[in-house]
Chain A
Amino acid sequence: MTQVTNDTSAPKGEPWVWFTSLGLIVGLTMVAGLLALVLYNGFSVFWAPPVPTVKLSDGTVLMGQMAQHRVRPDSPASQPKYERQYQVGLRELNGTSYVWADEAKIVQENFPPQTMGLERMENGPAFVTPIAFVDSKGQRVLFKKESFEGLTSEVEYAAEIREELNAIQRQKIGAVNAKMEASRIDLRRAEDRSEPTAAIKTQIAALELEFNQLRELAEKVKAQNALAKIEVRDARGREVVLPMATIVRAWLPNDMSVWDRVSLFFSRLREFLFDEPREANTEGGLMPAIFGTLVMTVFMSLMVTPFGVIAAIYLREYAKDGVVLRMVRISVNNLAGVPSIVFGVFGLGFFVYVLGGSIDQLFFSDQLKYNNNTPVFGTGGLLWCSLTLALMTLPVVIVATEEALSAVPRGMREASLAAGASKWQTIRDILLPASAPGILTGVILAMARGAGEVAPLMLVGVVKLAPTLPVDMVEPFLHFDRKFMHLGFHIYDLGFQSPDSDAARPMVFATTLLLIVLVVCLNLGAITIRNRLRARYKGASF
């Protein structure tokens, strides 16, 4: 017994087990904490909690949803004092949506059942007490619990009308505008070359007529709902009339079942995922940004994969070993460590100005000449974003492909060559299929890096608000020249560029959550494909 414990020759490795596992635990805890924070904050954006009415000792009354609870910065650490932030809404009246209240000064807090929450097209939400509403036919209804359903249907009607208006303005008027633009360019060109312009002028006149008709139609649609409004009283007793057309949603936060809350949650989630943003992106949905991120990532992958694979094949299979090859390898590996903003600068300088500029000179010279020098490809856009990120992630794919190629057993290569296959046939028929899972691993890594990248995109084509999607039903369907929205940039813009940072905070978390989910989904998709391939190329036994 003593002999064993005194045996100093035995290796003393055990403490390192604890030490190394500690590293893992710290790392995992941090990741789990981050995910939990984002999950909690992201999802609570959509949840509607009860809304208190709070009386303060100085006589002020607040009605609003609690947004934050924190230690007052001026209180001593030994005896912390707390303060609360309420989202009271009605920004047009209060100047701000959010109010801080010292917790010590709260004398009364209750939850009156008639409190109503309103989500609006402009000026943020409102927490108010409803008095009455006027329906679209001009009928005034005093608000009671039973009349809430009637109000809801009025709100829904308003949403329908908004959608109709949107269809007219964004799609039909947009199409007319695009045609008009093209005709004006034609006109200017014709004038410049002193060609006959009469036909073009009649065309423009017809388009203007159509435009005016559409505008009238829009006014008519708007008028259907002009009478509807809702009269409310805020916590301080001020009465306000809100046009129904500006109301997105109404709910009774202190008088609804769990089921109502859940369905409100999903209705907001749906809006978040499938609708367009409102209010400088701090509210509404993220569909254009989700779509833009997806499209950009897919194009980036489509560009980086062939380039990376071809480059890796050359490096691994054809290039002669030597100083040059080693230098190239080192450069490729170092390329992976270059800060992404550098790629952005390169993309702007080379892709946008040089390549895009030349494309414009070559193919869109008319456009430039007769459209106030408005560039087509000579400005940031989807194509340049995808290319820039493809360049940035190229080393990842090259390295992964090279590794996958060199991992193909030598026997397989020899068997193919011994059967009389040429080198290229061996690469095509044996090496590439066998290394497909490894190549896909590289593409997955590239996608994960590309989808979350923001800095370079800000230089080469991502914008805060894009009027159109990069892929739509207008010919040529795929608009490589268009600027687009991106989730990563959206987060930056919301969190750090928004005038109302309190209002933007919840959306920052929700958008972050969405970006994480999106990247995970893209990766899961690619991993599934890779595993299918693996199963196909790895046999049951040896």
Chain B
Amino acid sequence: MNPSASRIKVQPATESEGRKDYIRIQDYGFWYGAKKALDAISLDVPERRVVAFIGPSGCGKSTLLRNLNRMNDLVDGIRHEGDIQIAGRSIYDPGIEVISLRRRVGMVFQKSNPFPKSIYDNVVYALRIMGVTDRALLDEACETSLRKAALWDEVKDRLNDSALGLSGGQMQRLCIARAIANRPEILLMDEPCSALDPIATGKIEELIHELKAQFTIVIVTHSMQQAARVSDHTAFFYLGKLIEYDTTEKIFMNPSQAQTEAYISGRFG
């Protein structure tokens, strides 16, 4: 692949007033039982920017992403070392509950996973479990989230229909709406477009551009074009190690590591 595919404008990091180490990963190592999946990762994600994780399958992108909201706590026999901080506070801080962490860090999965409930109930799920019962508040949150997810016009007349009747692309945008309904600060996306057709993919990418104004976004992607199109910074992983992390422009135009160069030009992966 030609690095010049990153023609899409890469916003210079300086444009933001947000802090540069909004998410700070320090010497982070992670084990599934005896298997080491991450090895001494250090990386800072700036506020209100899009960071893409790229790398061959099994290199630990999802593992790192799922550590950011401690979804991996569900797996038996895991262990970690080092630390991850969000806005200056460790996510392993005993004073922070996992639940409140997850409320601040929304997540969109590779396979869209709407609940077998109505569209409305899906979107306001996070608010409901937080105890919000005020119908007006819920209605408003539902509309804003669906608008932000660019789904409102398509579903506004059938909010009470089952979410399982939507198309694949709509379902994934619904999952995005659901993830942002309780206004998290960070949005994690694990290959959100891998099951979608190009048109649906285009819509989601546009969406990511818009969401960036409010959320810090970390996206795992298999498509180098996508990383180039949507992200400001790109991290390249290989076998559990962070090989190179820089602005997307730099990674795709002028990588400093030979492995990165080889990967993005399609010579391995």
Structural contact, B179 and A418, CB atoms closer than 8 A: yes
Structural contact, A415 and B164, CB atoms closer than 8 A: no
The 8 Å CB contact of A414, one of B103, B109, B163, is B109
Within 8 A of A (CB), among B119-171: 125-126, 128-130, 162-165, 167-168
Cα distance A94–B178 in the bound complex, in angstroms:
84
Structural contact, B113 and A414, CB atoms closer than 8 A: yes
**B111 lies within 8 A of chain A by Cβ:** yes
The chain B residue sitting closest to A540, CB to CB, is B165
- How many A-B pairs with Cβ below 8 Å? 82
Q: Which residues of chain B are within 8 angstroms of A434 by Cβ–Cβ distance? A: 115-116
Structural contact, B162 and A418, CB atoms closer than 8 A: no
The 8 Å CB contact of A420, one of B76, B99, B175, is B99
**In angstroms, how far is the closest chain A Cβ from the Cβ of B192?**
13
* A-side interface mostly: helix
The 8 Å CB contact of A417, one of B71, B117, B179, is B71
Structural contact, A412 and B113, CB atoms closer than 8 A: yes
Q: Which residues of chain B are within 8 angstroms of A416 by Cβ–Cβ distance? A: 115, 125
**B14 lies within 8 A of chain A by Cβ:** no
Cα distance A414–B71 in the bound complex, in angstroms:
8
**A321 lies within 8 A of chain B by Cβ:** yes
**B20 lies within 8 A of chain A by Cβ:** no
Q: Which residues of chain B are within 8 angstroms of A412 by Cβ–Cβ distance? A: 113, 115-116
Q: Which residues of chain A are within 8 angstroms of B76 by Cβ–Cβ distance? A: 321
Structural contact, B116 and A537, CB atoms closer than 8 A: yes
**A419 lies within 8 A of chain B by Cβ:** yes
**B107 lies within 8 A of chain A by Cβ:** yes
Cα distance A75–B115 in the bound complex, in angstroms:
73
Cα distance A522–B162 in the bound complex, in angstroms:
30
Q: Which residues of chain A are within 8 angstroms of B114 by Cβ–Cβ distance? A: 415
**A430 lies within 8 A of chain B by Cβ:** yes
Structural contact, A419 and B113, CB atoms closer than 8 A: no
Within 8 A of A (CB), among B44-91: 69, 71, 74, 76
Structural contact, A429 and B129, CB atoms closer than 8 A: yes
The chain A residue sitting closest to B164, CB to CB, is A539
Q: Which residues of chain B are within 8 angstroms of A537 by Cβ–Cβ distance? A: 116
Structural contact, A433 and B103, CB atoms closer than 8 A: no
Q: Which residues of chain B are within 8 angstroms of A536 by Cβ–Cβ distance? A: 116, 162
Tell me which of A415, A537, A542 has the highest count of chain B C-beta atoms within 10 A of its own C-beta.
Answer: A415
Q: Which residues of chain B are within 8 angstroms of A414 by Cβ–Cβ distance? A: 71, 74, 107, 109, 113
The 8 Å CB contact of A421, one of B69, B129, B163, is B129
**B226 lies within 8 A of chain A by Cβ:** no
Structural contact, B113 and A409, CB atoms closer than 8 A: yes
Q: Which residues of chain A are within 8 angstroms of B2 by Cβ–Cβ distance? A: none
Q: Which residues does A use to contact B, with CB under 8 Å? A: 321, 409, 411-412, 414-422, 425, 429-430, 433-434, 536-542
**13 contacting pairs across A/B (C-beta < 8 A):** A417-B74, A418-B106, A419-B106, A420-B126, A420-B129, A420-B130, A421-B99, A425-B129, A539-B116, A539-B163, A541-B165, A542-B164, A542-B168
The 8 closest A-B pairs by CB, nearest first: A539-B164, A411-B113, A420-B103, A418-B107, A419-B126, A537-B116, A420-B102, A415-B113
